[in-house]
Amino acid sequence: MSGPRRRQCSSPLDWRHPPGGRGGAEGCVVWPVELQLLRPVWLLALVPAAALLLFLWRRPSQRLVWQRLVDRHLLAHLLVERDGAPRRLPLILLGLGWLLAILALAGPAWEREVQPLFGRDAARVILLDLSPSMNAADQRPSRLARARFEILDLLKASDDGQVALIAFGPAPFLVSPLTRDANTIAVQVPRLTTDLIPIVGARETAQALREAGELLDQAGATRGEVILVTDAVTDMASTRAAVTRLVADGHRVSVLAVGTEQGAPVPLEHGAGAVAGRFEQDANGGIRIARLDPGPLRELARLGRGRYVEAEPGDADTRVLLGQSEGGGAVVEHSGLQSDQWREEGPWLLLLLLPLAALAFRRGWLVPAVAVVLILPPHPSWAWEWADLWSRPDQRAARELAAGAAEQAAEVFEDPAWQAAARYQAGDYARALESLAELSDLDADYNRGNALARLGRWDDAIAAYEAVLSRDPDHQDARHNLELVQALRERPPDADADDAAGDSASDDPGDSDQAQSDQTTADSTGADSNAAESDPDDPTSADAGDPAGSDDQASGADAAADGQEDADLTQDERQPEAQDQSGSSAQLRGDDATSDSSGGDDIRPSDRPDAAEPRETDDAEIRDALDQALDADQEASTLEEMEASAGAPMDANRGARDPAAAEREQALEAQLRRVPDDPSELLRQRFILQQLRREGRLP
């Protein structure tokens, strides 16, 4: 016969009772093995507590003092305390109370509890007006550029709920449906220009409002918000009816107005007309001045029970718009998700302090206890330094680099390879060369060639690429960049000067977004005197400035051409931001990066008036190809370094592939890099498809 079956403990760390105890069977008591302290830094307060108690414990008693002054036979008649337990008891109680208080502040926890996650049921639809009047430059650099900045601020603040974006003109066009990932919309905002609208006509604000209402209804939003970003309203009656319908459905309509009451001329959308100083004309043949009329827009905001705000630099205007949503406009609902959180047990220890606190009202006890509490350090003071104690400077700099702060990361990095990568990403190619001077491996030579190419030092770049190929003849990227740099070096000086002048003259000053790009490039690169000497009377000649080293050029024409090349190359630091926001590994071309930072149109060489020149077209294509190759390689190398620093597992098959497969993959990647990536053209084609479906010409 078998003996009685004993219950097994669920964990090897459970406390076991010997047989015979608790009814004669082996029992188990679950011990809190997962003891956690939510605020462990409070344990440091035990150090001054121990020091104070030790000092008080060893302090001589009052009886010893009287022994030196009074005869022994008279001491029994003095009212002084005797050595022993009565004298030590207050110190013991003080130490016990101090210990309980510190443990309670440390936040002991040993159990997790499941809590539901709640989120705002906020649905926000942003309507962006892409009418030609948005190109007016009464707000620098243009109304449209200011509107894009405001939308980006709105998207940054949309950390909860859903958001959608609709661009409209004569008809509404969906840029992005309601989504909780605002970054996917933020990537597309800089590409929105007035020439993306495929049809011509008067703006249809009412139709755009109805489209926003349909989006909110499809999402099941009961309290949505529509933000209208525009400078005017044409058909006030139909627009008023659309706003009333949205309010009846429980939504709110706010207006973010762009422009000024003084107004400005509306430039033609195409660069050729704008260069000649041509603007849109009114019915009388005069120049059309687009002025902001706040009256109708205020009325729409009042009918929509929202707010009317005029766009201005900074984020104060967007905070006003979003302030109304923080109050009660959005419903907090259960998201259907759950989270495990530690349940703090520290407050239960405070119950044990109540009897000790009653003793504190004795004379002479309360003041020291309050003083002890006041000298303890506050909790929030340790959080930031505590995190930095467990990371090296290179790790902290890697986090800053991933967040887009390349300049700050470059000052923190100690590793020269990382420092060079950060300086390269920040556009400081000269200092990147200084960091690379300490390195002599294959990757350092290749990166040195890229930095020299960015600076326009073609001969030095060619020498660096040839050094890479001498050590690794199968390095396809170095060979590809070498061919591009050689093609740029072999250009005749007169063709360089023509390219610089042609590029400067072909930019569209009427297009305010492109003008912003030119101005930003000239400011950031520091246009030098060589560019000004090429054409003193041309205000757009500042685009030919050399950001990194006009002293290294052989002639004024070379400096102008290479400065234009460097102005195009300095925009690559926007690539990692677009990479992080879109969540894809697609590389952006140099001209796309320039238009991204300025918010202007993607101007390819074939779209310019002087594109008929074969030499200029070939040179522009070579520059674009060099931009693409250098940007793609820099981003790939940065991602690999960050992945290695973070300890992320690399591709397990990378080292096991045969050389032939690796060569084929490199060739495929090189071909993919040559594929033009034009997000603006993709948006234009999407709008065309939406218009064809609206007309019934497509299913």
- CA–CA separation, 520 vs 505, rounded Å? 17
What is the average pLDDT across 197-212?
Answer: 93
- Which token pair is 595? 């238009």
Q: How far is residue 37's CA from residue 104's CA, in Å, rounded to a whole number? A: 10
Distance CA 250, CA 370 (A): 54
DSSP 8-state code for residue 160: S
Burial of 547 (0-12, 13-18, 19+ CB in 10 A): buried
The residue-averaged pLDDT of 647-667 equals 58
Render pLDDT for 214-268 as a digit per residue (tens, 0 to 9).
Answer: 999 998 888 899 999 999 998 899 999 999 999 999 999 999 999 999 999 988 8
- Is the CB of residue 597 less than 8 Å from the CB of residue 571? yes
What mean pLDDT is reported for the chain? 70
Q: Which two tokens stand for residue 272?
A: 């050729």
C-beta separation of 296 from 233 below 8 A: yes
Q: Could you read off the pLDDT of 451-476 as tens digits, one per residue?
A: 898 888 888 989 988 988 988 888 88
Q: Say which amino acid occupies 325.
A: S
Q: Give the Cα separation of 435 and 450 in Å (integer).
A: 14
Beta-carbon neighbour count of residue 360 at 10 Å? Answer: 17
669 residue type, one letter: E
Q: How far apart are the first and last CA of the chain?
A: 81
**Mean pLDDT in residue range 629-634:** 57
> In which region does residue 84 sit, left (phi positive, over 0), alpha (psi from -120 to 50) or beta (all else)?
left
How far is the CA of 423 from the CAs of 401, 413, 627, 637, 692, in angstroms?
10, 10, 17, 13, 47
Measured CA distances, 363 to 152, 360, 368, 542, 651 (Å): 63, 8, 11, 81, 72
pLDDT of residue 117: 61
Q: Residue 60 region, left (φ>0) first, then alpha (ψ -120 to 50), else beta? A: beta
| Of the listed ranges 170-184, 387-401, 469-483, the one predicted with least confidence | 387-401
Which domains does the chain carry?
38-108+353-376 (no CATH), 118-332 (3.40.50.410), 393-485 (1.25.40.10), 491-684 (no CATH)
Unique residue bearing structure tokens 């300025």: 598
The per-residue pLDDT for 192 is 93
The answer to whether the beta carbons of residues 184 and 164 sit under 8 Å apart is: no
CB atoms within 10 A of CB 609: 13
Burial class of residue 401, CB neighbours in 10 A (0-12, 13-18, 19+): buried
Q: What secondary structure, in 3-state letters, does 195-261 show?
A: HHCCCCCCCCHHHHHHHHHHHHHHHCCCCEEEEEEECCCCCHHHHHHHHHHHHHCCCEEEEEECCCC
For 42-51, the pLDDT digits (tens) are 889 889 888 8
From the centroid of its chain, how far is CA 594? 19
Tell me the pLDDT band of 661, cut-offs 50, 70 and 90: confident
Looking at residues 156-182, what average pLDDT do you find?
A: 89
DSSP state letter for 288: P
Q: What is the pLDDT of residue 604?
A: 33
In whole angstroms, give the CA distance from residue 485 to residue 494: 18
CB 444 within 8 A of CB 417: yes
Cα angle, residue 548 at apex, residues 543 and 553 outer, rounded to 5°: 85
Residue 569 has pLDDT above 60, yes or no: no
What are the Cα distances from residue 251, in Å, to 126, 171, 209, 229, 330? 13, 22, 11, 17, 10
